A and B are shown apart, each in its own frame.
Chain A
Amino acid sequence: MNDTTTTLNPQASAMQFGIFTVSDITEDPTTGRTPSEGQKIRDAITLAKHAEAVGLDVFALGEHHNPPFWSSSPTTTLAFIAAQTERLLLSTATTLITTNDPVKIAEDFAMLQHVSGGRMDLMLGRGNTGPVYPWFGQDIRQGLPLAIENYALLHKLWREDVVDWEGKFRTPLQGFTSTPRPLDDVPPFVWHGSIRTPEIAEQAAYYGDGFFANNIFWPSEHYQRLITLYRQRFAHYGHGTPEQAIVGLGGQVFMRANSQDAVREFRPYFDNAPVYGHGPSMEDFTEMTPLTVGSPQQVIDRYAGMRELFGDYQRQLFLMDHAGLPLKTVLEQLDILGGEVVPVLRKELAQNRPAEVPDAPTHASLVAAKYRDQGPQEKIPNSNRGDNLTGGAPYRETAGTTGSSFGVAATRQGA
C-alpha cells in the first residue's frame, strides 16, 4: 500500500498526446472484409498497448450501446489495458452522463482509478444516438438537464463520504457511500465534451473541470467560440485566468512519408466513412476541419497551429482507427504519430508556452495540489455497522498514508 499508487503515474508533461476510438466495426472498403466484434476488441487492446510503446500518453475509448460498435463497457476494457501497460493514461470519449446512473459511474471509475494506480480520467458527453435514451429509460429532450443533474450527483459522490440526494431523474439516496472512495481521496479528473452546447462549456467552467472539443466534425471557428466561452467562464467562476483553463482537442490524421500516397490510400476510407462518407470531398473536408491527410510534416504544421486558434492547451487526441482501416495500417500510423509527429509537436508547443499555463492534469498533480508535500492519504473504513445515518463517519478520522516517508502526514488528523 505504500509504493504502487503514485509511482505508476505518467511523467508530468505540459501536453498529453494520445488516441481516441469510437469503437466502430466498419467494412474495409478496399477489401470488403468486416472484422468480428472479438477481433476488433482484441485490436483495440493491441492499439492501446502500441500507443504506449510508441510514446503516446493517452488512450480514450467511446461508449455505445448498439451495433456496429463494440464498446458498451469501457471500464472493463480500460482496466484490462491498464493491467498490461505501465505509463498509459486511460480515458473515455465519451462516458454517457445522460443515460448511465451517476452512482454506477462513480463506482466503476473509482475502481478503475484504484486498479490503474491513478492512470485514468474520464470525459463526459451526452451521446448522439437517440434510442439510447429510451433504452435506458430516459427522454432525449431532457438530455441537458440530465447531464447537469447527473454530474452534480457524480461530483458529490466522489467528494462526500456520505451523500443524501434528491433530484428529478434518479431515485433518492439517503446515507449512501459510493465505494471505493477515490484513490488517495482525490476524485478522477473530469473532462466535459461537447460539440455545440454552451451550457456544457459553462458546466465545465463552473466546476473548474476540463473542456474537450471534439474538433473533428465541425469547422474550427465553431470550437473557437465554445473554448473561448469556457475559458472566460472558468475565470468568471474563480478558478484562475482564462489561460489557466484545461482544454483538450480532438483531431484526425492519416500520414505517409509521401503526401500523395497518404491521399491515395486514405481516400476510399474517407469516401465511405460512416460519419461523413458520400458527403463533401476529402479535399473540402480537410480544408473545413482539422482532418489532415498527408506527410508527417503537414500534420505537424497543422497541429502546431492549433494553439493559435484555441490558446495553449493540455491534451491532443487523434482519431486513428475508424472507418474500416485495418489493424496493420493503424499500427503503422501510430508508429509515425509517436515516432515522428508527437516528439516535434511536444517541442513546438512547449516553446513560448507561458509559465502560468498549467500542465496536463494527472493523478500525481492532483495529489500534489491537494496534499502539498504531506503525501496522500487513503480511506480506512470503520468497522461496518451497516448504517451511515446515525453514527459518525463511515471512515476513520485519521486516514492512513501512502507516502510512508512523510511522518507528518502519517499522524495528520482529518482528511
Chain B
Amino acid sequence: MTTRRIAVVSAGLSNPSSTRLLADRLAASTVRLLEGEGIEAEVDVFELRDYAHDITNNLLTGFAPAALETMLNTVVSADAVIAVTPIFSTSYSGLFKSFIDILDPDALTGKPVLIGANAGTARHSLAIDYAIRPLFTYLHAEPVSTGVFAASSDWGASGDQVAPLGERIDRGAAELAEAIARRSPAASADPFDPANYLGEGRSFGHLLGGLAGE
C-alpha cells in the first residue's frame, strides 16, 4: 500500500517550542491511528523559524530560494497538513500568515488539514475558529472539525481535567487519520503538463474558444 505523507508546519519561534511540542503530539497520534488502520505514513516536520528569512525574501522577490522551494513542494504535495501556530495578538502569527501568503492560492485545495494553536491562556482558544479556520476555508482546504488548542496550563496539572489535552489531540488526529484514509493517495499535478493546464486531451484551440481541437 502506498505510504502517505503528512507535512507538519510549526510556526513557533522559540527553541524548544511548545508549538512544536503540540505539532509533534498531533503528528504522532495521527500516524499511530493510521497504523491501526494498516496505513503507513511518513511525517515531514518544518519549523517556519528555519525558513523565516527565505519567506521574507520570497515576499520581496516573488520567488522561493531553493531550500524554501523544496519545503513548499513537500507541503503542497503531502496527503495532509498539520498546521500549528502560536496565537499572537488574537490571531495566527505573522510568520505563519507570511508562509500562507507565499503558497499558490490553489495549492491547498481539497487538502485535509488539522489545525493546532497554542497560547499562554485558554482565553485565546477560539482563535482557531474565528481566525485560522476561515483562512483555510478561503484556500479551499478541508480542515477537520476539531482544532486543538493548547494553553500553557494544559502541559501541567492545572490544565483542563474534563477534556484533557491528550484526549483532544487524539480526537483531532482521529479525524485527520480518517480524512487521509478515505482519500486516494495524493497525486502530484505537474503545472507544466499540458494535460493539467489545458485539460486532458485538449489543445490550445480550446483556449481560443470554439474549436473542436486539432
Q: Are B207 and A218 in contact (CB under 8 A)?
A: no
Of A152, A203, A276, the contact of B60 (CB 8 Å cutoff)? A276
Q: Are B61 and A217 in contact (CB under 8 A)?
A: yes
Contact with B along A201-222 (1 / 0, CB 8 A): 0110110000000000111001
- Complex interface: chain A residues within 8 A of B120 (CB): none
Number of CB contacts from chain A to chain B under 8 A: 56
Chain A positions 175-206 with a Cβ under 8 Å from a chain B Cβ: 198-199, 202-203, 205-206
Does B213 touch A at the CB level, under 8 Å?
no
Q: Among B28-36, B44-52, B190-198, which stretch is in contact with chain A? A: B190-198
Contact with B along A253-284 (1 / 0, CB 8 A): 00000000000000000000001101110001
Closest B residue to A151 by beta carbon equals B208
Chain A positions 290-314 with a Cβ under 8 Å from a chain B Cβ: none
Size bin of chain A's contact surface: 20 to 34
Q: Report how far A330 CA is from B145 CA in the complex, Å.
A: 60
- Complex interface: chain B residues within 8 A of A226 (CB): 192
Q: Are B192 and A278 in contact (CB under 8 A)?
A: no
Q: Report how far A169 CA is from B207 CA in the complex, Å.
A: 14
Does A288 touch B at the CB level, under 8 Å?
yes
Determine how close the nearest CB of chain B comes to the CB of A195; give it in whole angstroms: 8
Q: Report how far A229 CA is from B191 CA in the complex, Å.
A: 11
- Given A148-B207, A218-B63, does the pair A279, B57 have CB atoms closer than 8 Å? yes
Of B63, B197, B198, the contact of A222 (CB 8 Å cutoff)? B63
- Given A152-B208, A199-B207, A206-B204, does the pair A233, B194 have CB atoms closer than 8 Å? yes
Does B74 touch A at the CB level, under 8 Å?
no
- Complex interface: chain B residues within 8 A of A65 (CB): none
Q: Are B204 and A288 in contact (CB under 8 A)?
A: no
- Complex interface: chain A residues within 8 A of B57 (CB): 279-280, 284
- Complex interface: chain B residues within 8 A of A152 (CB): 208
Q: Report how far A276 CA is from B66 CA in the complex, Å.
A: 16
Determine how close the nearest CB of chain B comes to the CB of A49; give it in whole angstroms: 33
- Complex interface: chain A residues within 8 A of B69 (CB): 219
Of A202, A205, A233, A288, the contact of B65 (CB 8 Å cutoff)? A288
Q: Report how far A228 CA is from B190 CA in the complex, Å.
A: 13
- Complex interface: chain A residues within 8 A of B66 (CB): 219, 288
Determine how close the nearest CB of chain B comes to the CB of A231; give it in whole angstroms: 12
Of B56, B191, B198, B204, the contact of A279 (CB 8 Å cutoff)? B56
Interface residues in B, total, Cβ within 8 A: 18
Does A104 touch B at the CB level, under 8 Å?
no
Q: Report how far A229 CA is from B57 CA in the complex, Å.
A: 27
Closest A residue to B205 by beta carbon equals A206
Determine how close the nearest CB of chain B comes to the CB of A277; give it in whole angstroms: 8
Q: Are A202 and B208 in contact (CB under 8 A)?
A: no
Determine how close the nearest CB of chain B comes to the CB of A172; give it in whole angstroms: 15
Determine how close the nearest CB of chain B comes to the CB of A182; give it in whole angstroms: 22
Does B62 touch A at the CB level, under 8 Å?
yes
Q: Report how far A228 CA is from B194 CA in the complex, Å.
A: 12
Q: Are A279 and B63 in contact (CB under 8 A)?
A: no
Closest A residue to B54 by beta carbon equals A280
- Complex interface: chain B residues within 8 A of A284 (CB): 57, 65
Of B61, B62, B192, the contact of A198 (CB 8 Å cutoff)? B192
Does A225 touch B at the CB level, under 8 Å?
yes
- Complex interface: chain A residues within 8 A of B197 (CB): 198-199, 202
Determine how close the nearest CB of chain A comes to the CB of B22; give it in whole angstroms: 32
Q: Are B61 and A279 in contact (CB under 8 A)?
A: yes
Q: Are A219 and B60 in contact (CB under 8 A)?
A: no
- Complex interface: chain B residues within 8 A of A217 (CB): 61-63
The residue in A149, A233, A237, A280 that gathers the most chain B C-beta atoms within 10 A of its C-beta is A280
- Complex interface: chain B residues within 8 A of A288 (CB): 63, 65-66
Of B60, B62, B191, B209, the contact of A218 (CB 8 Å cutoff)? B62
Closest B residue to A205 by beta carbon equals B204
- Complex interface: chain A residues within 8 A of B208 (CB): 148-149, 152
Q: Report how far A275 CA is from B63 CA in the complex, Å.
A: 12
Closest A residue to B198 by beta carbon equals A202
Closest A residue to B208 by beta carbon equals A152
Q: Are B65 and A203 in contact (CB under 8 A)?
A: no
Contact with A along B171-212 (1 / 0, CB 8 A): 000000000000000000001101001100000100111000
Determine how close the nearest CB of chain B comes to the CB of A226; give it in whole angstroms: 7
- Complex interface: chain B residues within 8 A of A218 (CB): 62-63
Q: Are B60 and A278 in contact (CB under 8 A)?
A: yes
Closest A residue to B196 by beta carbon equals A198
Q: Are A202 and B63 in contact (CB under 8 A)?
A: no
- Complex interface: chain A residues within 8 A of B60 (CB): 276, 278-280
- Complex interface: chain A residues within 8 A of B192 (CB): 198, 225-226, 228-229
Closest B residue to A281 by beta carbon equals B57
- Residues on B close to A: CB < 8 A? 56-57, 60-63, 65-66, 69, 191-192, 194, 197-198, 204, 207-209
Give 7 closest A-B pairs by Cβ, nearest first: A279-B60, A206-B204, A218-B63, A280-B57, A198-B197, A279-B57, A276-B61
Q: Can you list 6 A-B pairs, Cβ within 8 angstroms, ordered by A? A: A149-B208, A149-B209, A202-B207, A229-B194, A288-B63, A288-B66
For the A-B complex with A203-B207, A217-B61, A278-B60 known, give 18 more contacts whose Cβ atoms are closer than 8 Å: A148-B207, A149-B209, A198-B192, A199-B197, A202-B194, A202-B207, A217-B63, A218-B63, A219-B69, A225-B192, A226-B192, A229-B192, A233-B194, A237-B204, A279-B56, A280-B65, A284-B65, A288-B65
